[in-house]
Amino acid sequence: MADAGGYDATSDQELLDLHLRGDPDAFGELVRRHRDRLWAVALRTLGDREEAADAVQDALVSAYRSAHTFRGHSAVTTWLHRITVNACLDRLRKAATRRTSPVDDPERMEQLLEPHEAASAPAERNALQRELVAALATLPADQRAALVLVDMQGYPVAEAAGILDVPVGTVKSRCARGRARLLPLLTHLRPSRERARHPSGEGRNHPPRASVPPGAPERLPTGPPDSATAKGGGERT
């Protein structure tokens, strides 16, 4: 048994091994290290705080119980993210016939920003994030998950492919289709001179990141940082 500080030099893989050997605190340390990014992925994918919390809880319970199935072909964080994304996609599929979009509910849009984000981010960035999350909610689940990982969380395409357990080309295709669907929803975010130059979007075969105001990031806004997380390649099981 060790306190959180006692695990500083322990890798994720070693923590998982300790968990399997009966260490009562090792899995909790894994959760502490990665929960912010797991939560951010779930929140942006599902667009609902309660659903996201339930999905993360389901994922962590599943990971806790199935740790013995992990073969070490990828980073532990990739494995945790895959379980979390699958939990989110399961919820999206089950709720497909009754799902409501947060697009028309400003209060729900506010919930998608973490308290520290809402307090510290400039008003323009908060408004941009709300617009982007609302637009994401209109996408099919597979496209949304790919864009959340690549454009919002900043994962390389190859790593997103490992998390989603699909080929790299599939992630690229889902991102391209998702961005194409988002573009009409985000056209109004272009600077006025850009709208005047390309009033109908002709000649601008670019993803939505070309449609944000000056000074905004080239990717979609990222979720809470998790400097302790070490990323790895994709595992195929």
pLDDT digits (tens), the chain, 237 positions: 555 558 888 999 999 999 999 999 999 999 999 999 999 999 989 888 899 999 999 999 999 999 999 988 889 999 999 999 999 999 988 876 454 444 344 444 344 444 444 444 455 555 676 777 778 888 999 999 999 999 888 999 999 999 999 999 999 999 999 999 988 887 766 654 444 444 444 444 333 333 333 333 334 433 443 433 334 333 433
DSSP assignment of 109-156: HHHTS-HHHHHHS-HHHHHHHHHHHHHHTTS-HHHHHHHIIIIIS---
Domains (range + CATH), the chain: 8-211 (1.10.1740.10)
Q: What region, left, alpha or beta, does residue 20 occupy, with left being phi > 0 and alpha being psi -120 to 50 degrees?
A: alpha
Of 36, 45, 111, 47, which is closest to residue 77 (Cα–Cα)? 36
Of 127, 138, 145, which is closest to residue 103 (Cα–Cα)? 138
Q: CA 237 to CA 186: how far, in whole Å?
A: 38
Segment (H or E) for 31: helix 26-46
